[in-house]
Homo-oligomer: A and B are copies of this chain.
């Protein structure tokens, strides 16, 4: 017998393979940890079982409405539960999540909605006026608008239906599907378009799956991290963290607005273990008045992205107890793809030297596939 890589049994396996999809992480956590907390937002709190059911309900709503594989569903949402849920409900039917940068103007939003061909758009009340303006500028068909209401932000409804209302008739046991192919598109994001119009970036299920897992290793998240959403979820799908937290059965602590007092409060209240952000977020925390409960941040691990962070930021974060890990990436690679992997012995270095080391070294994420060469 010859064991050939082209053995016909392997061909059979390959023809019947189950595509990788990050939705399976949600399925697993709902099955394994049904009663553990998945998402917290102000006074609202969901378990993994509930989140899975809510996602299936919304997926069935989208399906009923006629959304099919390859269709685009856009979201204009801050870091609220519906934003976490969209990262699962939309891929559950093979549709593509298009998360819009909430800081854009109406013209840019209209361009993206037209270009991406969104058939549905979820809108937070904070952006109701802006979206009304953007819709008026569309040249293509108008998407179905779904209002995501919020007790903490009142505004007139602009939508065709409200999110919670759409969930009610939805099927909590909806038979979500795997993609036909793990290379199918899962998400559409637009880069800022420094030259001309924004450029669309299409990512796939396989990459989202592998990146989500890779983050657990690079950030040493372990099981059940408590994650504070200081990073906007529209930004490269929140660096894949909605999927990462489902894989690690962690807690999504939602946050509408990056604001130091509230951040320190939430860290203390929920025992936050991890957070992500740009240097400006950490600068805000470092420079918060001493009256804030800055000690609450002691022990939090913060991933910080962008160019090498200034030593002052690294040292400053340490002074309030936050341990920063520098990462770097881009939209095209699902967010961060390189990390400053701490070396044994660094903890014994003086803070300034350690900060220097931390701001210089960058190595690939664990599951970052090297080139063939």
Contacts and interface: CB of A to CB of B under 8 A. Distances in A.
Interface in A247-274: 247-248
A156 interface: no
Given A25-B366, A31-B363, A220-B222, A371 B18 contact: yes
Given A18-B371, A217-B247, A223-B220, A116 B363 contact: no
B366 A247 contact: yes
A5 B115 contact: no
By size class, the interface of chain A is: 35 or more
Given A10-B204, A178-B372, A367-B213, A117 B20 contact: no
A344 B37 CA distance: 11
Contact of A5 (B94, B200, B223): B94
Interface of A: 1-7, 9-10, 13-14, 17-18, 20, 24-25, 27-28, 31-33, 36, 69-70, 72, 94, 96, 115-117, 177-181, 183-185, 188, 200, 202, 204, 213, 216-217, 220, 222-224, 247-248, 341, 343-344, 363-364, 366-367, 369-372
A70 B4 contact: yes
A223 B202 CA distance: 32
A49 B180 CA distance: 40
Contacts of A344: 36, 224
B3 A70 contact: yes
Nearest to A20: B369
A32 B363 contact: yes
A181 B5 contact: yes
Nearest to A339: B32
B202 A9 contact: yes
Contacts of A27: 370
A5 B185 contact: yes
Number of copies of this protein chain within its complex: 2
20 contacts: A1-B115, A1-B117, A3-B96, A3-B117, A3-B185, A3-B200, A5-B94, A5-B184, A7-B185, A18-B371, A24-B370, A25-B366, A27-B370, A28-B364, A28-B366, A32-B363, A36-B344, A217-B248, A220-B222, A224-B344
Contacts of A341: 32-33
A336 B183 CA distance: 27
Nearest to A370: B24
B367 A3 contact: no
A200 B24 CA distance: 30
A116 B3 contact: yes
Nearest to A23: B370
Contacts of A18: 369-372
A23 to B, nearest CB: 10
B247 A5 contact: no
Nearest to A181: B5
Contacts of A7: 185, 202
A327 to B, nearest CB: 14
Nearest to A205: B5
